[in-house]
Every structure is written in structure tokens, then in C-alpha cells.
């Protein structure tokens, strides 16, 4: 059975909780583009045109239903004056924290997007992808949530201490980060992003208890998402979310990125007709999968969550790891082609 919808139509149909022609495949490539382009990761992200071209070629080869304009998480920290540390075979890391004590929060300013070189390159990539795809392929923009950004700004242990012990400083930091998040999201939407991925791992129950989420990350998400003029995909970056999924739905998000550590069928029961699930292939394990294992993993995810729409097949972390090879990626696409066409009679039988 051949595909009859383009990628945009396919994704929108599924997000509307209807069954498109086949299950949408959302492979989010970032550093993989450097390997695909046969250059270093640092050089790759220094050239917006190279990133756009790699996205176009990878989408075609692996039959993904989106372009991902995400570079690396530390790009947003660079906007605050930090530096990123590049590696040969993995995502760049954020450099030293920019917040070392509470006084640093009082003097922190909301960055101007126009003055940050890496953010301008990302916007150029989005414009190039928009010019190529027009409205046929979704372009995914990415923001770090105001609630999760402090993990990079000040370090995890210092941030947890701030959450529990310094409520006024926490609120001040959230106001600054929220203003930046909204500014950055708006710039990406204007450049051509179809939807915004709101990365929020700090809100996951892998990081903090549900009661603390309701007092903090939940409220921040509600306030922020209401002001972003585009569909939102909230992503926990492989963190658990089942216990708080009903609350995440209340933030107004359209899509939730889920964890391989939780039962996909149960998540589907909670989310049915309420929010679309994005997942749920193990990003760490897939680098070792055989072709037959890959097919079984894809088939299993489709069986558990794809009936009735409301499901986008992806790896669970939000970024295809560097170590995942071409054969596995091709096998994922082949398995979707074999098992993902609607109606899923083989599942219902």
C-alpha cells in the first residue's frame, strides 16, 4: 500500500486522533547530520545551510515525517553568555554554569535573539527548510522550558536546592527564562517552525515528585504554553510522566514525548482522544539492534499505541543518538512501511 498523504497531512490527521494512511514516523536528527555530512559536529553546526541540507537528505532517506531544526541544548545557554563544549561523537555539552550564587540571578538579563550567533543560524536553517518544504513537511522548533533551563544555568543540585529553599529567587529566574523562552519560540515560528517542542525533563517524575511538579513546572508550563502561538509537543527527554500525564494534558500541549521505562499501552489508555503520544523506541538500545529486533520493536509500539491515531512513532529521548547506524534507521523506516499502514487489521485481529 503506497502513502497517499504528505507528511504534514499525515501528522495533523494523527494529532487530530484520526487514522491517516500510515503511522507518522518522527525521527529527530541533530548530531546525526554531522555524520551524514561527513564533517565534525562543531563544523556541522557552524553552517546553517549544511544543517538544512542534511535535514532534507535524511528526511528523504529515512522517510521521516518531519524536519528537526534543533542543534544542541547548550545553544540556549550560549545566549546567556556561556560556552558549549564539543565532542567528536556526541551532543555538545553546556559549559560552566552561569549562575553561581543568588546575586547572579538578580543581575541576569533576558537575551536578545538577534545578538546570538548560534540562534541566528538555527533561524536560518528553519527558513531554508520552510522554503524547501513549504507546507508539506512539519518543521520542529525547540525551546528548553523555563523550568528545565536552570539545570544548565546553575547545575542540578544547586537548582533543586533553589526550588525548595529560595522561592523568591526561583520566581525571579522563572520570569527571566519565560521571557526568553517566549521570545525564542516566537522567532522560530516566524522563521518557519510548524510546531514547538517544549523540552521539560526537570518536570518528569524521574526528576521531581508529582506534588512538586504541580507547584512549579506545571504552573510554569501552563503560563508559557498559553503564550506560544503554535502547536506544542511537551517532551520529557526520556523521563517518566505517567503519574502526571493528566496534569500535562491540562497545560494545553498537543503532544507528549514519553519514556521507554513506562508501559506504552497504559499511556495510550490515559491519553486516548486527549493528547498525542510521541515515542517509544529505546534510543540507547537501538544502537545495538539487529534488523529483526528493529522490526519487532516498531511492530510492538504500533500495536500498543497506534490504533485510532494519536500516536507518532519516534525514539524516546528526543534526539537520534550518534551511535545509531544507517542499517537500523533504514530498518525502522522499512518496518513502518510494512506494519504501519492503516487500517491496522493485524492489530485489531
For residues 91 and 85, the answer to whether their CB atoms sit within 8 Å is no
For residues 188 and 138, the answer to whether their CB atoms sit within 8 Å is no
CA atoms of 301 and 307, how far apart (whole Å): 10
> What digits encode the pLDDT tens for the residues 295-311?
999 999 999 999 999 99
The domain locations on the chain are 7-348
The partner residues of 255 in beta bridges, in order of sequence, read 233, 276
Q: What is the pLDDT of residue 186?
A: 98
Residue written as cell 514547538? 196
Q: Three cell numbers at 272?
A: 486516548
> What digits encode the pLDDT tens for the residues 193-251?
999 999 999 999 999 999 999 999 999 999 999 999 999 999 999 999 999 999 999 99
CA atoms of 253 and 48, how far apart (whole Å): 29
| Nearest Cα to Cα of residue 186 among 228, 141, 249, 231 | 228
Q: What is the pLDDT of residue 1?
A: 44
What totals of helices (H) and strands (E) does the chain contain, helices first? 17, 9
Q: What is the pLDDT of residue 298?
A: 98
The partner residues of 315 in beta bridges, in order of sequence, read 281
Burial label, 272 (beta-carbon count in 10 A; 0-12, 13-18, 19+): middle
CATH number of 7-348: 3.20.20.210
CA atoms of 236 and 217, how far apart (whole Å): 12
Q: What is the pTM of this model?
A: 0.96
Q: Which residues of the chain have pLDDT under 70?
A: 1-3, 349
Quick one: CA dihedral 284, 281, 326, 288, positive or negative?
Answer: positive
Quick one: CA dihedral 232, 245, 285, 237, positive or negative?
Answer: positive
CA atoms of 157 and 57, how far apart (whole Å): 41
Q: What is the pLDDT of residue 348?
A: 76
Q: What is the pLDDT of residue 81?
A: 94
At residue 278, the 3 state secondary structure works out as strand
Amino acid at each position: 500500500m503506497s502513502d497517499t498523504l504528505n507528511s504534514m497531512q499525515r501528522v495533523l490527521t494523527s494529532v487530530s486522533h484520526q487514522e491517516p494512511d500510515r503511522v507518522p514516523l518522527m525521527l529527530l536528527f541533530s548530531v546525526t547530520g554531522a555524520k551524514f555530512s561527513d564533517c565534525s559536529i562543531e563544523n556541522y553546526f557552524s553552517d546553517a545551510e549544511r544543517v538544512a541540507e542534511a535535514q532534507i537528505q535524511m528526511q528523504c532517506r529515512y522517510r521521516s515525517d518531519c524536519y528537526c531544526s534543533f542543534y544542541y541544548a547548550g545553544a540556549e545557554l550560549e545566549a546567556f553568555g556561556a560556552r558549549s563544549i564539543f565532542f567528536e561523537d556526541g551532543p555538545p555539552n553546556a559549559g560552566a554554569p552561569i549562575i553561581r550564587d543568588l546575586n547572579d540571578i538578580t543581575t541576569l538579563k533576558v537575551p536578545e535573539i538577534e545578538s546570538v550567533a548560534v540562534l541566528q543560524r538555527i533561524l536560518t536553517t528553519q527558513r531554508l527548510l520552510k522554503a524547501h518544504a513549504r507546507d508539506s513537511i512539519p518543521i520542529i522548533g525547540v525551546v528548553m522550558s523555563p523550568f528545565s533551563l536552570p539545570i544548565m544555568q546553575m547545575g542540578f543540585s544547586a537548582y533543586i536546592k533553589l526550588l525548595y529553599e529560595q522561592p523568591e529567587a526561583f520566581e525571579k529566574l522563572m520570569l527571566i527564562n519565560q521571557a526568553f523562552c517566549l521570545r525564542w519560540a516566537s522567532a522560530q515560528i516566524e522563521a518557519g517552525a510548524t510546531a514547538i517542542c517544549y523540552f521539560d525533563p526537570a518536570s518528569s517524575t524521574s526528576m521531581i515528585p508529582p506534588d512538586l511538579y504541580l507547584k512549579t513546572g506545571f504552573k510554569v508550563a501552563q503560563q508559557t504554553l498559553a503564550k506560544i502561538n503554535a502547536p506544542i509537543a511537551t517532551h520529557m527527554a526520556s523521563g517518566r510522566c505517567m503519574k502526571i500525564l493528566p496534569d500535562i494534558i491540562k497545560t494545553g500541549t498537543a503532544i507528549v514525548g514519553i519514556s521507554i521505562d513506562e508501559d506504552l499501552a497504559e499511556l495510550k489508555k490515559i491519553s486516548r482522544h486527549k493528547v498525542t503520544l510521541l515515542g517509544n523506541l529505546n534510543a540507547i538500545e537501538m544502537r545495538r539492534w539487529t534488523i529483526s529486533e528493529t522490526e519487532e520493536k516498531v511492530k510492538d509500539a504500533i500495536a500498543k499505541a497506534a490504533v485510532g491515531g494519536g500516536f507518532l512513532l519516534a525514539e524516546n529521548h528526543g534526539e537520534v543518538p550518534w551511535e545509531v547506524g544507517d542499517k537500523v534507521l533504514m530498518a525502522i523506516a522499512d518496518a513502518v512501511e510494512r506494519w504501519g499502514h492503516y487500517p491496522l487489521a493485524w492489530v485489531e485481529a
